[in-house]
Amino acid sequence: MSWVHALARPEIVALRVYEHAAWRPDLERLHANELPWDPAGGDGRDGLNRYPEPQPRELIERLAALYGVSARALLLGRGSDEAIDLLCRAFCRAGEDAVLVCPPTFGMYAVSARIQGAAVIEAPLRPEQGFALDEAAVLERCARTTKLVFLCSPNNPTGNLLAERSMLRIARELAGRALVVIDEAYIEFSGRASLARRLEEFPNLAVLRTLSKAYGLAGARCGALLADPQIIALLAKIIPPYAIPRLTVSAALSRLSPQSLEAGRAQLAALLAERSRLQGALAALPGITRLWPSDANFVLAEFADADGALRRAASAGLLVRDARGYPGLGRALRISIGTSEQNARLLESWS
């Protein structure tokens, strides 16, 4: 038995895969109970009367090249959220297994685990050290039944990178026992190379990537899990057969064209410059008692009067994220980097 099958739920390993309609674009389709015409009023080019390719090969190959992995090591999903859910369902037995998270962090790890009936173990980040990863606590609290460890780097909502050495050491110590899932949704804003380059060295490492942030496709819902091909094959058994809509595929392929990638690099540079400008201006405001460094497309700030800051932002027509529900962030707000005009308006409302 492979190490992946030993770690996964036995029901998933034994699951007989649903047999979706065959994908044969060389033949005319009379096998999938589809309408033979485009919807009334359509221009005949969308092909939305047909089911999409289950795991679209062209997009997988384009993303595999972008992320520097084999196509066999990549699974497409509807944003990173779907991959998080699939991991919990494939590896966690309800009422028996657990996931470990490092709060304050992205809430979907714990939500997906609890939906699956898995326990949630916490090893909090260290706020006194800039929300650094507590490597010793992670390893100490990983019980025999801990199947997944979620690490977000850059972390949401704090914006900081986790130490690469610590993440890899955790993966090494948990080899054969648990998957270590690195969420790199914001990695493009950090300047750090992805840990996807270490997947062959650390088979129990998995990496989450998304087109929602730096590539501007949050509304398209397109993300990827990068992992050992055995993990990808296991999750492919339980992902819905037509998970990626045709319009999402078209949008993603367009965004990944050489011209769009070049334009995206210019946008990224502009956003990073705006982040630096906004951080400098926020640091000078008397109502802000603490401002954390950021390697993401947002900044986290602590306010003397967070309620008042929220009201003044809303009066200026702007919505920022109330982060006070996160542990240890009782006076914090998270501010996404907007346009130069939006950022100026926000600063004026808080001045």
Would the pLDDT of 42 be above 70? no
If you average pLDDT over residues 272-297, what whole number do you get?
A: 96
DSSP state of 176: T
Q: How many CB atoms lie within 10 A of CB 345?
A: 15
If you average pLDDT over residues 200-204, what whole number do you get?
A: 97
| Rounded CA separation 42/39 (Å) | 5
Sort 351 into a burial class: Cβ within 10 Å, 0-12 / 13-18 / 19+. Answer: exposed
Task: Indicate the range of 1-5, 11-15, 245-249, 298-302 predicted with least confidence.
Answer: 1-5
Q: Which residues pair with 300 in a beta bridge?
A: 334
Percent of the chain with pLDDT over 90: 89
| Rounded CA separation 135/172 (Å) | 12
| Rounded CA separation 270/153 (Å) | 22
Would the pLDDT of 224 be above 90? yes
Band of the pLDDT at 301, cuts 50, 70, 90? very high
If you average pLDDT over residues 317-328, what whole number do you get?
A: 96
Token pair of 244, please? 């990626």
If you average pLDDT over residues 33-48, what whole number do you get?
A: 75
Residue type present at position 242: Y
If you average pLDDT over residues 49-60, what whole number do you get?
A: 93
Token pair of 223, please? 């993300």
Band of the pLDDT at 1, cuts 50, 70, 90? confident
Please report the pLDDT score of residue 103 as a whole number: 98
Band of the pLDDT at 43, cuts 50, 70, 90? low
Task: Give the pairing type, strands 205-210 and 332-336.
Answer: unpaired
Phi and psi based region of residue 44 (left: phi greater than 0; alpha: psi -120 to 50; beta: remaining): left
DSSP state of 323: -
Helix boundaries (H) for 8-76: 10-14, 57-67
- Positive or negative torsion for Cα 130, 304, 107, 114: positive
Compute φ and ψ for 112, nearest 5 degrees: -65, -40
Please report the pLDDT score of residue 44 as a whole number: 52
Task: Indicate the range of 45-54, 262-271, 288-297, 307-316 predicted with least confidence.
Answer: 45-54
Of 347, 324, 341, 335, nearest in space to 291 by CA: 335
| Rounded CA separation 17/234 (Å) | 10
Domains of the chain with CATH codes: 3-256 (3.40.640.10), 259-350 (3.90.1150.10)
Q: What is the pLDDT of residues 116-159, one digit of tens each?
A: 999 999 999 999 999 999 999 999 999 999 999 999 999 999 99
Please provide the average confidence, as pLDDT, over all residues in the chain: 95
Helix boundaries (H) for 32-78: 57-67
Please report the pLDDT score of residue 45 as a whole number: 60
pTM of the model: 0.95
Q: Which residues pair with 336 in a beta bridge?
A: 298
Residue type present at position 208: L
Of 161, 120, 157, 85, nearest in space to 335 by CA: 157
Q: What is the pLDDT of residues 5-32, one digit of tens each?
A: 999 999 999 999 888 888 898 898 988 8
Q: What is the pLDDT of residues 75-107, one digit of tens each?
A: 999 999 999 999 999 999 999 999 999 999 999
Helix boundaries (H) for the chain: 3-7, 10-14, 57-67, 79-91, 108-116, 135-141, 164-173, 229-236, 246-255, 258-283, 306-315, 340-350
If you average pLDDT over residues 251-279, what whole number do you get?
A: 96
Band of the pLDDT at 41, cuts 50, 70, 90? low
